[in-house]
Amino acid sequence: MKVLIAEDDNVTRRILQLGLERLGHECICASNGREAWELFLKERNVEVIISDRMMPEMDGIELCRRVRQLQSDRYIYFVFITALGERDNLLEGLEAGADDYLTKPLDQQQLKARLLTASRVTALHNRLHEQKRQLEHLNRELWYAARQDPLTKLGNRLRLREDLESLLAQMDRYGYTYCAMLCDIDNFKDYNDHYGHLAGDEVLKKVSEAILGDLRKGDRAYRYGGEEFLITLPEQTFDSARIAAERLRNRIETLSIPHEARPDTGVVTVSIGLSELRPEHDKSVEAFLREADGALYRAKSLGKNRVMA
Ligand code: GH3
Ligand code: MG
Ligand code: MG
Ligand code: MG
Ligand code: MG
């Protein structure tokens, strides 16, 4: 292990160093608390500190407190050196956060035993820390997986609902206006019936990619339902959203994905319903979505492959 020795008495320090090196540990030495603290900060891989209690400039108690206050991924095993019978010193050291103590006069057996405990404790701590890290990573992955549509990789409805809530909060705070597009593939059931479900899945992916490719900074796309996508457009007026929707509609049409069961266009198209959320409207998320749904319904009734507000 890498051990930092903090001891102002030259003889004790030397004995410690020789003893530790004989046990195969790596040592760095400081002759007062401040020097020890600076060494500790510089050499970020110290695992054990063996420190005297009374030292010039900074004592062992203060050194121990500082080490404990420092947020570190690794556990630093802290051992105090006390003379036999110094009961109060010992208690104060343990209270400051020390793990163990060595009594003077030092002997090799005692040193060996302390370092054995140190390696056991730090190994356990590091293992726990690593598990915690893996768990946090897994949790993050789960969080995203629960909010992502596996086919298109777009956000799902849960993600949409959460994002809309925070959009609303932002709107209240900054007075932004939001628009949403509800985009639905035309005659998609017929597509599946004609080309098969797997080919239908490929269309969903292609349309999602087209949507993603069309987003501007701050825009977000979600898979709203089977063949329906919702795109939120922050800080956009109705007119600019209409332009964006028309651009997207055109982009998907010009993908030119053959759709024989749709004779008027011959290719896959989408209909888009627009909705607007203004701070002064005092609308709910539900009303916002209902408005987009109503506009989409009108786009469908008027012959599909079009944008309606
Ligand atoms: P409209 O133009 O009125 O929107 O007609 P439509 O056929 O697109 O709409 P409808 O609601 O009748 O059918 C939607 C179809 O979308 C039916 C369903 O099989 C298909 N669908 C939904 N989710 C998926 C999916 O994940 N993969 C595939 N391949 N098809 C899906
Ligand atoms: Mg001393
Ligand atoms: Mg639909
Ligand atoms: Mg449809
Ligand atoms: Mg239908």
pLDDT tens column, 280-300 = 776 688 888 999 999 999 999
Confidence of residue 117 (pLDDT cuts 50, 70, 90): very high
Average pLDDT over the chain reads 92
pLDDT value at 65 more than 80: yes
* Most confident listed range (53-62, 161-170, 194-203, 230-239): 194-203
State the pLDDT at residue 278. Answer: 77
Confidence of residue 84 (pLDDT cuts 50, 70, 90): low
pLDDT value at 258 more than 90: yes
pLDDT value at 177 more than 90: no
State the pLDDT at residue 38. Answer: 95
What's the rounded Cα separation, in Å, for the pair 27 and 48?
10
For the segment 82-110, the average pLDDT, to the nearest whole number, is 85
- Tell me, using a 6 A CB cutoff, whether residue 188 lines ligand 1: yes
What's the rounded Cα separation, in Å, for the pair 84 and 170?
65
pLDDT value at 24 more than 80: yes
51 CA to centre of ligand 2 in angstroms: 9
CA Rg value for the chain: 34
DSSP the chain: -EEEEE-S-HHHHHHHHHHHHHTT-EEEEESSHHHHHHHHHHSTT--EEEEESS-SSS-HHHHHHHHHHS--SSPPEEEEEEETT-HHHHHHHHHHT--EEEEESP-HHHHHHHHHHHHHHHHHHHHHHHHHHHHHHHHHHHHHHTTB-TTT-SB-HHHHHHHHHHHHHHHHHH---EEEEEEEETTHHHHHHHH-HHHHHHHHHHHHHHHHHHPPTT-EEEE-SSSEEEEEEET--HHHHHHHHHHHHHHHHTT--B-TT-TTTSB--EEEEEEEE-GGG---HHHHHHHHHHHHHHHHHTTSSSEE-
pLDDT in tens, 201-220: 999 999 999 999 999 999 99
pTM of the complete model: 0.76
State the pLDDT at residue 282. Answer: 65
Q: Which of the ligands is closest to the CA of residue 228?
A: 3
Confidence of residue 72 (pLDDT cuts 50, 70, 90): confident
Q: Which of the ligands is closest to the CA of residue 36?
A: 2
Catalytic residue ranges: 227
State the pLDDT at residue 91. Answer: 84
Q: Which residues pair with 229 in a beta bridge?
A: 183, 223
Best of 152, 204, 227 for a ligand 1 pocket test (most atoms within 8 Å of beta carbon): 227
- Tell me, using a 6 A CB cutoff, whether residue 273 lines ligand 1: no
Best of 189, 206, 271 for a ligand 1 pocket test (most atoms within 8 Å of beta carbon): 189
